[in-house]
A = this chain, B = another copy of it.
Amino acid sequence: MKILVLGGDGFCGWPTALHLSDIGHDVQIVDNLSRRNIDNELEVSSLTPIAPMGVRLRAWSELSGKTIAFHRFNVAEQYHRLLSLLREWEPDVVVHFAEQRAAPYSMKSSWHKRYTVNNNLNATNNLLAAVVESEIDAHVVHLGTMGVYGYGTAGMKIPEGYLRVKVDTPDGEVEQEILYPPNPGSIYHLTKTQDQLLFAYYVKNDRLRVTDLHQGIVWGTQTAQTERDERLINRFDYDGDYGTVLNRFLMQAAVGHPLTVHGTGGQTRAFIHIQDTVRCIELAISDPPARGDRVRILNQMTETHRLSDLAALVSKLTGAEIAYVENPRNEAAENDLHVANDQFLHLGLQPITLAEGLMQEVTEIAEKYRARCDMEKIPARSLWTQAPVKA
């Protein structure tokens, strides 16, 4: 199949592009290199030494004999460039990763809120409008987030996208299935709940075929493809904005810093290994919705952990101490989380567990590259709310 990967230079996009190329698809990448530019803004670097796109693609070509074309443009701003590409190449699938994806970054300042809303919503709307205007029948596969659900669910297992509810009407109780009521925890997560409404509308009005993948927190760095050559290595973010919780712990352990747990550590979150991410994208592509189907929503996660338990696990593996610090986020101190992921298990996903893969991350990534770490960048500094309002 011809697969266009929007955001194919990013942490999930790059290994996805390689994986899909490796299993025989014809892959092209669109990216405006925004993630690398944000590194410049934040004065941070990936712990792993990521190669420029040109080097990455030449290395992949040398190793695999396959060519991945690269188009550098901004999906949120350059609609006609995207439209032309869809018309000329007529991809069968468009995988949409072209969004700003860090919650703390989206809360850093008013500018960051506005950038995230403007970029993410225009990127998604441009893609959907372009698929309609180009009249191609591409399956759109979008990376959503578990964060659309919020984390307070009264002991209920979070279903895959839709919730069955009962409503009292004059004719008695009526049951219907609705999009799970959103409860986003940051501007970034908010944009993904707004994306859901875009998908639902275009699917209803234009009968597009859309799959939305509500992904948990990704851990791990390498996939079977990215580890074949250091020039293909994937990003490892450990900074306070883009570094997710597990990476922060690993990095802290590697450099001898206590593991900083926000608040009580009673927050429970869903996780998935990057190798499973790329496999899930493959599975989602292999099983597209039909024309006229509603948006297919799958939960892309494999296990849930309480953050204090994660810290304890990393501490046990590495000997690092644990420090409890104030939580910069505006969120519940404690929550339970039970998540349905039956659809991917049914499609054949065999999850990699933290218990299996974590030690490799510690030794092959965090310890191997620790000399590249800037410890100043580890603490989370983005606050969810600014100073209290004037009296």
Contacts and interface: CB of A to CB of B under 8 A. Distances in A.
Interface in A360-391: 384-387, 389-390
Contacts of A348: none
A317 to B, nearest CB: 34
Given A197-B194, A385-B205, A154 B174 contact: yes
A170 interface: yes
A286 interface: no
A206 B154 CA distance: 25
Contacts of A184: 197, 201
B155 A129 contact: no
A289 to B, nearest CB: 15
Contact of A114 (B79, B193, B330): B79
B387 A135 contact: yes
B155 A170 contact: yes
A23 interface: no
A281 to B, nearest CB: 24
Contacts of A318: none
A349 interface: no
Contacts of A343: none
Contact of A181 (B83, B137, B157, B179): B179
A65 to B, nearest CB: 32
A287 interface: no
A40 B347 CA distance: 54
Contacts of A50: none
A27 interface: no
Interface string A4-34: 0000000000000000000000000000000
B121 A117 contact: yes
A182 interface: yes
B390 A136 contact: yes
B171 A154 contact: yes
Interface stretch (A161-169, A220-228, A236-244, A256-264): A161-169
A132 interface: yes
A321 to B, nearest CB: 32
Contacts of A168: 164
B171 A167 contact: no
B135 A114 contact: no
A170 B158 CA distance: 12
Interface string A121-137: 11001100110110111
A198 interface: yes
11 contacts: A110-B130, A110-B132, A118-B121, A154-B169, A154-B171, A165-B166, A190-B198, A193-B197, A194-B198, A205-B384, A291-B389
